[in-house]
Structures are given as C-alpha cells and as structure tokens.
Structure 1
Amino acid sequence: MKEELPQFNSTFSIDCVIFGFDGGELKILLIERNEEPFKDWWALPGNLVRANESLDQSASRILNELTGLGDIYMEQYYTFGDPDRHPQGRVVSIAYYALLRLGGDKALKPISTYAKQAHWVNVKDLPKLAFDHQQIFDKGLEKIKRRIKHQPIAFELLPEKFTLTQLQNVYELILGKKLDKRNFRKKMLSFGVLRDLEEKQKGVSFRAATLYRFDKRKYAKLFGKEISF
C-alpha cells in the first residue's frame, strides 16, 4: 500500500533586516504597520511571498513597497518557522539582511498603505517589535558580528571617504565593545587595503583627520581568503 504524503498548509513571508550607519550611530530600518495583526506596531519590513515570484524577487518588491528603497542587494541569512510565530496561522519567514551607506539617496517613502511610515532607528533604542521580529533582528546582528571579524563589510556602511575614527566606530557599534585605538589603527593599516587620500576632513570644529578609501581591487588581489580583524 502506497503511503500518502502529509498535507502541509504553510505560508511564506520575507522579513528584511537593513542596517545603516549615520551620525556615529548604527541604525535599523523599521516600518509602522497599518494592518492587523499588530496594527500601529513597529516591525521589520516584511510581507507575504507571491506565488509567481522567487524569494529574491519577493524580498526586493517588499522592501520597495514598504520603504521606497530599490536596487538594494540583500542576502538570506536565516529561516524562522516556529508554528506559533504568527497569530493567524503557520507562516515561515525567510530573513534577508543588507548594510547601507545612508545619504540623500536613501529617502524613505512607503509605496504601499501596508506601512504608515518607514524610519531609521538607533539599534540601542529599539521599540517593542511585532511578531518575533526582535529575534529576527538579534539573529541579523549576530550575523554581521561574525562577518565583520573576517570580511570587510564595515566599508559597506561608511561613506566612500572616511576617517580611521569612523571606521573604528563602526566596528565598536557592531561588536558592542570598545577597541584599543592604537592597536586597531595599526592592524587596519597593516592589511594594506586602505588608501591614504592625502586629504583632511573639511568643515569640522575639531582637528581635521586624514581621509581614507577602501581599495577593493587591492583587497581582491591580496586576499584570496578571508582576513581576520
């Protein structure tokens, strides 16, 4: 007798964990929900996957509809599938993350009425989040904490020209600890992937610092493997 396969009835969703760095703060992108459940709550940008689209297509569409951001490269990092994570039924969520340089081209304007507004929030000041989005955020932060120790992802958050103080600030915010200034700078410069631009900061009230740029070509040439920071 042929055994019948069990019938499953699960819905799939996407949740986007988007980190940004601005004004010396590590920030996360949140939306204010305009739909039940959790109407008026803050949440990660997320919604259901459509039947006719891939997961990557769905992630791009959802982020664009809920925040107005487009052409953002995101990577999957975890799947959340606890049976009771959504009050309306079984919803399995695939989480994506990205790191962005914040600037004028990152203006937020939701297209869908599903979100009242989108806003960058300091990760130290997170409000209570809808569903299990705190857990999804925590996993995303854990992911970049691991990656930043071996890969140059910090430069994805910084402006094209940056100071060593700004670079150290990004590492400290992500790792959640203070780093020795002298040792950090010595180690970073020893990798040979920072180009001294022979320029100084402008328009600052304190002593202007030297500006650097991350040399992607040199990094690719020097390191065929991961480097440890």
Structure 2
Amino acid sequence: MNDLQVSLFSLESLFDKREMWKAFFTNLENIFDLKISHIDKNDPMRNKVKNLDEVVDYIGIFGGEEDTLNILFAKSKKYDLFVLLELNKAKSTVGNGFDMVYISFHEEFIKQKENVEKVYLFFKESISVIKPFYAVCDDTINIKVKKKNNGFPVNYEEELPGIFWLTYFNKKYSDFFDLKNKNIPFEVVENTSGTILRLGESPHHIVYDRFEAEKELGTKSFVELDAILNKPFGKYVLLFKDLI
C-alpha cells in the first residue's frame, strides 16, 4: 500500500509538551473530522480514550519509558479513514539526536483532491505547532527510496533525505539554501519564519521534479543513492548546534 506520509523532525524533546500535543490533535480532529478512540494499535480494545486529555497524558507517560509509540485513530465520520501516528524519541545528541513524528494517511483517502488539500493544510498547521527544523510529505514509496546504500540510517548532520512533494525548512535552513533566490516555489509558514516547498498539487501532479529541486539546492546536501563515502559533518547541511 502506498500511503501518504507526513514526517516532522524536531531538535526539542516533544513528549512533555502537553499544550503542543493538545493543539496538534485538535487540528487533526478538526481538519479531518476525526475522533480519536484508541492510543495503541497493538491493543486497541484495552487502550481506548474518551478525550484528548487522555491522549496527551498517555504521551507524557510514554516519554519517560519507551522509544516508540503508535497511536491509532478511529475512522472518520465522513471518510473511510484512519490515521497512524508514530513517535520516535531521540536516543542521543549525536547523529540521530532529534524526535520524529510520522503520520500516515491511507492510499484510498488521498485519491480525492480535496483530501490531499486537507493533508497540505494539516502539514502547515503541524509545522506551526511543532516547529520542526525539517519536515516532508510524500507517498511512502518516494520517501523510502531515499536510503543510504551502505545500510546505515541517514545522519542529518551529514545530509538530509531529500526534497519531496512538500518539504519544510526552518529559517536557518531556508537561509542556508538561499531559497529566496532559487526558482523552486515556496511559501512562508506563519509563526516559524521557515518555508514550505510545494512541487505540485499532489504527489502525483508534480510540476517541479523532486530531483531537479535537489540539484537546484545542491545534490550533496541530500542522500545520493549511488554515493559510498560519508560526507563531512556540517559541510553540506547544518550541524544541530547551528540549528538551535
């Protein structure tokens, strides 16, 4: 199944930010007309919730105990839709020193243009709430292909995965890539001073090719599928200390 995936990357620990999560889930419920009913896809019968406060409490407890959390959302009132949220806690301040949020929307849902626009709106709203340094949205097949051939995970102080249908850079990255003087269409995000690059109406209607966009910004800043040697830290992307 080729779902549509939203991925957000934050240098701050996200799991104890109660008000942030309350706003995040409120946006999700309102935009997609969802009602959260479960907080664990592996045990949905036991882990039911009545309101967003219970969801936020669960995340707060999880933040001190586990490394990964999956949250299962109920079907929408209007659409045959569920949303899977995956949270990954940073394990160190070196290499993968950031928290990650992944949200997947299933393939059937995004066949309708109006639903793709809802994902775009949610992407923007999520950025305003979480304030990541980097965020992307695209078909999972386009995201998964951007892997290092040596089998190691991408080191975000060495290179970024790439440019996708939607790509967000915070202000420091926007300045680093000098986006104002590039030809790629972008939009400034409220409350962040960062920018979203949108390459087309949907992942299936791309006007500005993903790989052409990477060339415009500098291919060495992104995962090169045929590259073998590691790149120097901080040469083609920013170090975490320079993003704070």
Under a length normalisation based on structure 1, what TM-score does the superposition of the two structures give? 0.30
Under a length normalisation based on structure 2, what TM-score does the superposition of the two structures give? 0.29
Higher strand share: 1
